[in-house]
Amino acid sequence: MPETSLLRAQPGARIETGLCRVAHELAALTGWRRYGLGFLCGALLAGALPPVDLTPLIFIAFPALLWLDEGSAGPSASARLGYAFGLGFFVAGLYWIAAALFVDIDRFWWALPFAVVGLPALLALFPAAALGVTGFLATRLRLAPAARVCLFAVAWSAAEWARGHFFTGFPWNLVGYVWSGGFPGAIAMLQSTAWLGIYGLSFMTVLAAALPALLGAASLRPLTPARRAAPALAAALLIIVPAVAGMIRLEQLPTRMTGAWVRLVQPAIPQSLKWDPEAAEKNFRLLIELSGAPAKRALAAVLWPEAAATFLLERDPARRAEIAAVAPKNGYVVTGALRANPPPARPTQIWNSVEAIDPAGAIRAHYDKAHLVPFGEYVPFGSVLPMTKITAGSINLSPGPGPRTMTLPGLPAFSPTICYEAIFPGAVIDRAARPAWIFNVTNDAWYGRSSGPYQHLAIARTRAIEEGLPLIRVANNGLSAVIDPAGRILAGMALDTIGHLDTALPAEAGATLYATLGDWILVAMLGLGLAPVLLLPRAR
């Protein structure tokens, strides 16, 4: 065992507790048993996320990983174990991505292995790097066990940040999102993102979950009950203190509503019919019918989901006129739509957009999606790869310039985000023109009744808390939701429900600390996390 072993298995060490015995048995595993259990621990961690929401599983998955790592012969073995753990985590947490291929399985059957295993295999490189770096530095610097745990939390969090930014970024299922679902009291802990952001909450969560690994350490001399319990107490404080602060924030930030009312329209059109030319008219009539239903209050806007308009509105005045007929008086229909280069030239450039149509049929404003989905909306290296994008149409979509605030008379200014743009912390609003709310349109019908839509909603909910802004989510087949600045889900529509929901817009809460400082807060937290690495005495 390395000198920096968490278990301190020197000759004469005392195996005092059952956890010590479990830790040593895990460290002694070799071969496929070691990596297989690492894979299962990663899958177990995925169960802490929505929609399973078994948050306490983090206190099993991370200590077990660190105990297994005690059997690593060096940094490369640690990296391999981290890779197995990451592979299990991403296979279990992202299996639903493959469901999108079944919409047109005759064309994309060959891509199933890449979706089920290929993407997780790529993403698993980040946990591999985290554990490998931890093993390398812990051995080289002869870190004490507590310092090694802190280094692991720093390395994991830095790897998550890198995953969210490198190669277009994919910050899905960050560990901090274990607090974003339905586990009792989790919303209090999730309030921490108003101060720390989701990356900061991830760091605090990983550190709290990893500290109990020290409970498996054997000792050269008997430990007092207080010293034996110290790691558990420290972990508890890392959860209790932010949770109490979150409870205070929730108490001091009650839901307030504005006088502006909007209608959320959820048509629940199956993805197999979404772009079917024979179903286009029926789909459009459903949207018009839901939008034109009588309202008890005057509406400022009717909100449609992503790509609800499957035709090019700027080239179709007849359809625009029908939409205008159901627009509220002095209001708008704000819809997801595809937008092309101006007529009369033939379409050569397409954007995934949000467009606002007034009662006269004019397009008053638009926003173009900036963060496109690789292979879904465009094919990277398309001149080399022999494939087309998964979504309808043969033209790769073009990216927009980035977040913007859409200002329309009679409607509070809002920031449109399209589909998975809502997963990117700190990138959902224009800092120079702060909006009053966030409008997220999406179409999760690709993923059926899988974990995907629930995870997507939980992630979008976190953006509301980070920014101190309400978020209105309109999804084709659900889960549509009205979310206040504290992340409370005030109303919504379930998966595959056809209907509309009239609601007042919640009021904003003011810019949060995270909205002001962004990920510099994470930099400061990682610096504090490295303090034990520098200050604690070196192991013998």
3-state secondary structure 429-475: CCCCCCCCEEEEEECHHHHCCCCHHHHHHHHHHHHHHHHCCCEEEEE
* Separation CA 223–CA 43 (nearest Å): 34
The predicted pLDDT at position 4 comes to: 53
**Res. 43: pLDDT tops 80:** yes
Q: Which of 355, 369, 389, 467 is catalytic?
A: 369
Residue 114: CB atoms within 10 A of its CB come to 16
Residue 389 known to be catalytic? no
112 contacts 98 by C-beta, under 8 angstroms = yes
For the record, the structure tokens of 489 come out as 């889900």
How far does Cα 204 stand from its chain's mean position?
17
**Strand pairing report for 350-357 and 363-368:** antiparallel
Distance CA 242, CA 203 (A): 13
Q: Which residue has the higher pLDDT, 224 or 371?
A: 371
Cα 400 to Cα 372: distance, rounded to the nearest angstrom: 9
Given pLDDT bands bounded at 50, 70 and 90, which one contains residue 384? low
Provide Rg for the chain, Cα atoms: 25
Q: What is the mean pLDDT of the chain?
A: 91
- How many angstroms separate the CA atoms of 25 and 67, rounded? 9
Tell me what the mean pLDDT of segment 427-434 comes to.
Answer: 95
In the chain, where the domains are located:
18-98+112-252+519-535, 257-508
| φ, ψ (nearest 5 deg) of residue 265 | -110, 125
Q: How far apart are CA 48 and CA 462, in angstroms?
A: 16
Dist CA 70 CA 8 (whole Å): 10
Closest CA to 417 of 393, 432, 434, 437: 437
Count, in order, helices (H) and strands (E) of the chain: 18, 12
- CATH number for the region 257-508 comes to 3.60.110.10
Residues 6 or more apart in contact with residue 74 via CB below 8 angstroms: 135, 139
Q: Is 477 helix (H, G, I), strand (E, B) or coil?
A: coil
Q: Are 493 and 457 in contact (CB under 8 A)?
A: no
| Dist. CA 391–CA 407, nearest whole Å | 30
Provide the H-helix boundaries in 380-428. Answer: none
Residue 47: both structure tokens together: 């169960």
Residue 98 has pLDDT above 70, yes or no: yes
Distance between first and last Cα of the chain: 13
Q: What is the pTM of this model?
A: 0.92
The sheet with strand 406-408 has its strands ordered as: 406-408, 411-418, 437-442, 471-475, 480-483, 489-493
The active-site residue out of 160, 306, 377, 508 is: 306
Confidence (pLDDT) at 477: 94
Q: Which residues pair with 472 in a beta bridge?
A: 439, 482
Q: Residue 3: pLDDT band by 50, 70, 90 thresholds? A: very low
Buried/exposed code over 183-218 (b: 16+ C-beta within 10 A; e: otherwise): beebbbbbbbbbbbbbbbbbbbbbbbbbbbbbbbbb
For the record, the structure tokens of 501 come out as 């929901």
Closest by Cα among 316, 322, 359, 318 to 339 = 316
Distance from C-alpha of 404 to C-alpha of 460, rounded to nearest angstrom? 17
**150 is an active site residue:** no
pLDDT band, very low/low/confident/very high, at 223 (cuts 50, 70, 90): low
Q: Are strands 406-408 and 411-418 parallel, antiparallel or unpaired?
A: antiparallel
Active site residue 369: yes
Lowest mean pLDDT among 220-229, 285-294, 311-320: 220-229
Using the predicted structure, report yes or no on whether residue 108 has a pLDDT greater than 90. Answer: no
Taking only the tens place, the pLDDT of each residue in 476-513 is 998 999 999 999 999 999 999 999 999 999 999 999 99
Q: In the predicted model, what is the mean pLDDT of residues 382-386? A: 65
Nearest residue to 445 (alpha-carbon basis) of 481, 479, 473, 417:
479
The residue type at 474: V
- Average pLDDT on 389-400 reads 78
Handedness of CA 174, 264, 411, 309 (dihedral sign): positive
Paired sense of beta strands 489-493 and 480-483, if any: antiparallel
Catalytic residue, chosen from 160, 419, 466, 508, is 419
If we measure between CA atoms, which residue out of 182, 172, 150 comes closest to residue 525?
Answer: 150
- Scan for tokens 């595809």, then name that residue: 338
Are 109 and 504 in contact, with CB atoms under 8 Å apart?
Answer: no
Torsion angles phi and psi, residue 377, rounded to 5: -115, -15
* Residue 379 pLDDT: 79
Output the six-digit token pair for 321.
């006129």
What is the model's pLDDT at position 12? Answer: 47
- Is the dihedral angle over the CA atoms 126, 130, 135, 140 positive or is it negative? positive
